[in-house]
Amino acid sequence: MVSFIEGGGTAAPETVVESETVLSGIWDVVVLNDPVNLMSYVTMVFKRVLGMEQSEAEQHMMEVHELGRSVVWAGDREKAEAYQYQLQEWHLTVILEKNESSA
Amino acid sequence: MSRQLEFRLDPEAVRPLVFHFRSLVDSLKDDLVADNEPPASDQVMSEVWLEDLLESQKKDITALNELFNNELLDTGRATVNEEDVDLILRGCTALRLVLRESTLSRFEDEHLEIGEVEVGKITAEEEIGYGVYILLASLQELIISQLDP
């Protein structure tokens, strides 16, 4: 597992401020549809990685299947990246999007 | 002591697929199968991210490859230690993804999804690839049903 260190080294203060501004706020973890993964597999992954209950996991799985995408988690950038990595380990297609409504 | 999952497959159905299966395994050493990007915040972190994902994928593939051992090919019986279940499930997905992008690339998603591939109208290689694709899905279903009955 990778560790997430933002602004590592001795960056200039302006850079740190800019980086914090860009990465601050609420981030959505978005799972995109793919033509391969089984519904039961995706549901199981949501339960295992995100701690969802069966019904919630199935609801998100159906969103992915029918709408092509589902926001499965939202929160701070560091934790969003951790979830993104774990879901990618399960070979799901996952992106992060800044939640503009939270800005 | 860890729990073991046991399942049975038809060895007569599995044996003809193994050669194609092994060639797919060999093709997966250097590239990630899923179309995924790391977060674009830092180049060094992105490189580490992709390297770690590739290492994880290699473990998945290795565990799945080891499952297709002589016992499974001779008797159809296979056992999976509980701690290896995640690797096997992910390995199945990795191989299905690469099959989708290679041997089975000319087929429509919905035809593959509902099993509407007419075996008589496809090449021998596609037929074997499709067999592996279905076999790995069946294996995933079997394992998931035992994990979460």
| Token code pair at residue B40 | 């674009």
The partner residue sitting opposite B141, judged by closest CB among A4, A40, A47, is A40
Question: ipTM strictly over 0.90?
Answer: no
The residue that leads in pLDDT, B3 or A61, is: A61
Tens digit of each residue's pLDDT (9 = 90 or more) over B103-114: 999 988 878 877
Taking a contact as any Cβ pair under 8 Å apart, which residues of chain B between 26 and 45 contact chain A?
33-37, 39, 41-42, 44-45
Tens digit of each residue's pLDDT (9 = 90 or more) over B64-73: 999 888 788 8
CA A71 to chain centre: 8
Mean pLDDT of A33-47: 94
* % of chain B at pLDDT higher than 70: 97
Q: Does B140 touch chain A (CB under 8 A)?
A: yes
- CATH architecture assignment, domain A26-102: 2-Layer Sandwich (3.30)
Q: Where are the domains of chain B?
A: 4-147
**Among the listed residues B28, B48, B46, the one whose alpha carbon sits nearest the alpha carbon of residue B38:** B46
Which of A44-53, A77-86, B103-112 shows the lowest mean pLDDT across its residues? Answer: B103-112
Which of A15-24, B16-25, B98-107, B110-119 shows the lowest mean pLDDT across its residues? Answer: A15-24
Neighbours of B93 (CB within 10 A): 27
The per-residue b/e assignment along A22-50, b for 16 or more CB within 10 angstroms, e otherwise, is ebeebbbbbbebbebbbebbbbbbbbbbb
CB A49, CB A86: distance < 8 Å: yes
Q: Where are the domains of chain A?
A: 26-102
Q: Cβ of A2 and B89 within 8 Å?
A: no
The residue that leads in pLDDT, A36 or B3, is: A36
